[in-house]
Structure 1
Amino acid sequence: MPAQQVPSRRAAGLALAVITSLALLTGPSDALAASPAAPKPTSGGSSPSTPDPHPPAGGWAPDGVAPGGPHLTSRGLVAPPGAPALPRGIRARGWILADLDSGAVLAARDPHGRYQPASILKVLTALSVAPNLPGRRVVTVSPQAAVAEGSAVGLLAGARYSVDQLFSALFLISANDAAIALAQANGGVARTVASMNAYAAKLGAYDTVVQTPSGLDGWQQLTSAYDMALVLRAFVNQPRLVAYSRLPSAGFPPRASKHGRVGPYQFDNHSQDFLSTVPGALVVKTGYTDAARHTYLAAAQRHGRRLGVILLRSERHPVEQFRQAGALLDWGYALKSTVEPVGMLAGPVRAGPPARDAASTVSTPVTSQALAEPAAPRGGLRWALAALAPVSALIGAVLWLGGATSARRRAIRRQARRRR
């Protein structure tokens, strides 16, 4: 599928003016103002076992705007005009490449398409629980955590582990037993899931619904490449969490409880291929389930810039995911500064009707440090443009009617000449 080329600045400005005028005259529809609905189960199972062939679309904030800009609602490729060809071998159905400092989205495919996140969701888990869990705190592992489904580090029920140790297992080998143990230490799985959903909303990640702290699939557990880029931007600004994810290896001493004995044992970082081969590699997290397929989250820092990439519903062949991510990062760092972004990572959007200003179709971009609720715009050029928008719509209508009338008159004159 050919990339959707973002129009020139002049064309984009004209399109934005038209969209704004229509929005001001008609207001958002109920369909746009509502959050995207989660898909319903198609069997009696508790979670999907295969990828949805028609992943649902997201892309609308509570007030009906398109988070990040209207170009990011495309379900195909979105690339800036004048940019070199994108790397070959990118197998993800939904992906995004963004500057994590400026918020500029450099390229994407189906960025608001909603897919299962698999274990890259653990990054959101860590962001949600870390403020409540100091590294030296000791956690006694429950039997429920010790038998968690999927990838595990082998925690022993009844044994005690530090939060630092649990985080190392969470990131290095994507341990689901560590994810459950951390969630229970945070006040319980249900409370942690609620805090994860709240954290996503705080970031402006409106395509995301969380059901499990481990990333194991649920019918309603979905996210988008755009949303996970917001999560990644928050993550790279947490030095403690970045340090956990960059550990080359970790290990546990032997432990014993009434449930048995384990250890000692060591484990290596499963994402060391990215960390050791991609220039400036900063953080990385992988994921896999039957429904999600392969997912990937990664960031690098070069020349004072941090770029991040998200791959959803990807495959590892014929090109490994760390090479796909590295190729996109190389492409992004090679872009000329004159190339315009295709969108912006935006912050939270207040609920209710859209603001009556010229930017009402695009969420407000924020810096990576700003997560507070944006204040309502006051004064200045934006309100002036808002005041002129209905006038511009009226002028456009008058010009159109005038042109149509003139064309009609010319046609009458031509018919009169033919009758002579």
Structure 2
Amino acid sequence: MQPKTFSILPVVFAIAAGALAPSSMSFAASHAAKRATHAKPTADAPASAPVAAQTAVAGGPPALPAKAWLLMDFDSGEVLASANPDEPLPPASLTKMMTSFLVEQALRSGKLKKEDLVSVSQNAWCRGSSTESCMYLPLNSQATVIDILRGIIIQSGNDASKAIAEHLAGSEEGFAKLMNAEAQRLGMTHTHFMNATGLPDPEHKASARDLAILARAIIRDSADYYPIYAEREFKYNGIKQGNRNALLYTDPTVDGLKTGHTQEAGYCLVTSSKRNGMRLITVILNTNSAQARADETRTLLGWGFGNFEKATPIQPNTVVATAKVNFGKVDTVAAALASPWSVTVPRGQQVHTSVQLKPGLEAPVAKGAVIGKVVADSNGKPVGEAPLIAQADVERAGLMLRTWQHVAKLFGK
């Protein structure tokens, strides 16, 4: 089958006045973090020098003064641009994305219920100092799982994270094993967790790519709980705290995910934004201030939405190819997309498609069975693929017809 070519027209979108400033370091973050996540507030660290970035877009992405950063397309998981994406770095409270994800999965499976009570041990309890972020759970008290989840996501509570870790695994050490097992399952190959909070440990590391993979899993698999990541505040035990993600207050397209800060990790932020049907995930690691992590994220989102667009290479319900079927009552079956399909490509670039059908397909073939795939590429680079399914049942032929077909194959007919 000859490749098909589709011309993609650029889509112009407007960015709210004042949302972006000319320089990536000149944004106003009106709701910057009021306290460091895990350490006493200190003077902002010197800005990191921008590191070399990679992208398919001519001219390259913006220069961001973070130790590592990444921009990912949510639908495909494709990395659209990155700098230093695979270096394991201290993730600070970005760690709590894995803690909350495990809680969400336990809720989905029925292992936990939202109204289950979680006890606050001496080990989990925050002593009320300003040296770490807390939900301020009273010692020896109990809180519901859903309140604990909000305390982890919105308030970044170390006490909430430790309490649920002990509840699910008996100890924080045991919970870290669950975290690492889940990281391995998701394909987070440059990550190792030592605790549920992100408190500094020489062996506690995660890469920008891995954190984007985790964010994508949360958005995809925790749909019932993902709206919590967009909540701006949470009040518990008479104490109301605001979400430290400044973009939730300034950009209505942003709906998550998590901030983090320690002296070692610098200021970190993982964010997701959806505009015009396209969702992007950003990761900023080890920048020098709460404002800088918000500024750099705004810059990266603006650049991403300005330089990439969604394309539909093949319309739904379109027969893409006809597959040959051996030993069936009919010789062929139509192949079409299993579901609507789109890809993210640089604006204005053409998309080409090619079809790969399973060789030696034999009856019986069930309607809906995967019998091949269609692959899309743009500018010579693969940008996505989708399965092709049979559009009808193909019954196996009777013995006499199959025998004749065998003989015909032997003679090349």
For normalisation by structure 2, the TM-score amounts to: 0.59
CA contact (8 A) 2:272 2:279 kept: yes
Match for 2:143 among 140, 161, 165?
161
Which residue number corresponds to residue 384 of structure 1? Answer: none
Which residue number corresponds to residue 257 of structure 2? Answer: 284
Which residue number corresponds to residue 91 of structure 1? Answer: 65
Match for 1:135 among 94, 114, 118?
114
- Report the CA distance between 1:266 and its aligned residue: 2.1
- Report the CA distance between 1:147 and its aligned residue: 3.3
- Report the CA distance between 1:365 and its aligned residue: 9.6
CA contact (8 A) 2:155 2:234 kept: no
CA contact (8 A) 1:128 1:192 kept: no
Match for 1:310 among 278, 283, 288?
283
- Report the CA distance between 1:111 and its aligned residue: 0.5
- The residue type equivalent to 1:86 in the other structure is P
- Report the CA distance between 1:322 and its aligned residue: 1.6
Which residue number corresponds to residue 239 of structure 2? Answer: 265
Listed one character per residue, the Cα deviations across residues 272-315 of structure 1 (whole Å, up to 9, x for unaligned) are x2112124112121101111111111001111111000111112
1:279–1:199 CA distance, 2 compared to 1 (3 A) = same
1:186–1:329 CA distance, 2 compared to 1 (3 A) = same
Listed one character per residue, the Cα deviations across residues 375-397 of structure 1 (whole Å, up to 9, x for unaligned) are xxxxxxxxxxxxxxxxxxxxxxx
Which residue number corresponds to residue 239 of structure 1? Answer: 223
For normalisation by structure 1, the TM-score amounts to: 0.58
Which residue number corresponds to residue 87 of structure 2? Answer: 113
- The residue type equivalent to 1:78 in the other structure is Q
- The residue type equivalent to 2:205 in the other structure is L
CA contact (8 A) 1:139 1:185 kept: yes
Distance 1:241 1:216 in 2: 25
CA contact (8 A) 2:126 2:158 kept: no
Distance 1:208 1:299 in 2: 21
SS of residue matched to 1:239 = coil
Listed one character per residue, the Cα deviations across residues 84-104 of structure 1 (whole Å, up to 9, x for unaligned) are x5335x221111001011122
Which residue number corresponds to residue 305 of structure 2? Answer: 333
- Report the CA distance between 1:240 and its aligned residue: 3.2
Which residue number corresponds to residue 251 of structure 1? Answer: 235
SS of residue matched to 2:267 = strand
SS of residue matched to 2:123 = helix
CA contact (8 A) 1:129 1:192 kept: no
Which residue number corresponds to residue 54 of structure 2? Answer: 78
Distance 1:112 1:186 in 2: 30
Listed one character per residue, the Cα deviations across residues 232-276 of structure 1 (whole Å, up to 9, x for unaligned) are 100112123312222222222xxxxxxxxxx423222222x2112
Distance 2:252 2:175 in 1: 35
Match for 1:322 among 277, 294, 303?
294
Distance 1:266 1:289 in 2: 22
Listed one character per residue, the Cα deviations across residues 3-23 of structure 1 (whole Å, up to 9, x for unaligned) are xxxxxxxxxxxxxxxxxxxxx
Which residue number corresponds to residue 157 of structure 2? Answer: 175
Are 1:221 and 2:221 matched, yes or no? no
Distance 1:156 1:326 in 2: 37
CA contact (8 A) 2:266 2:289 kept: no
Which residue number corresponds to residue 125 of structure 2? Answer: 146
CA contact (8 A) 1:103 1:366 kept: no
- Report the CA distance between 1:328 and its aligned residue: 0.5
CA contact (8 A) 1:94 1:111 kept: yes
CA contact (8 A) 1:80 1:339 kept: yes
Which residue number corresponds to residue 206 of structure 1? Answer: 189
1:81–1:186 CA distance, 2 compared to 1 (3 A) = same
Listed one character per residue, the Cα deviations across residues 296-352 of structure 1 (whole Å, up to 9, x for unaligned) are 1100111111100011111227x53222112111111111445399xxxxxxxxxxx
- Report the CA distance between 1:78 and its aligned residue: 1.0
Distance 1:81 1:157 in 2: 53
Distance 1:147 1:264 in 2: 16
- Report the CA distance between 1:134 and its aligned residue: 2.2
Gaps of 5+ in 1: 1-74, 253-262, 342-363, 368-420
CA contact (8 A) 1:172 1:245 kept: yes
CA contact (8 A) 1:281 1:299 kept: yes
- The residue type equivalent to 1:329 in the other structure is L
- Report the CA distance between 1:159 and its aligned residue: 1.1
Which residue number corresponds to residue 299 of structure 1? Answer: 272
- Report the CA distance between 1:119 and its aligned residue: 0.2
SS of residue matched to 2:225 = helix
1:230–1:336 CA distance, 2 compared to 1 (3 A) = closer
Q: How many residues align?
A: 264
Distance 1:174 1:365 in 2: 36
Distance 2:277 2:264 in 1: 37
Distance 1:326 1:196 in 2: 30
- Greater RCO, CA 8 A, separation 6+: 1
Please identify runs of 4+ aligned residues in structure 1 that moved more than 6 A: 364-367
Greater percentage in helix: 1
Q: Which moved more, 1:297-306 or 1:319-328?
A: 319-328
SS of residue matched to 2:97 = helix
RMSD (Å), alpha carbons: 3.1
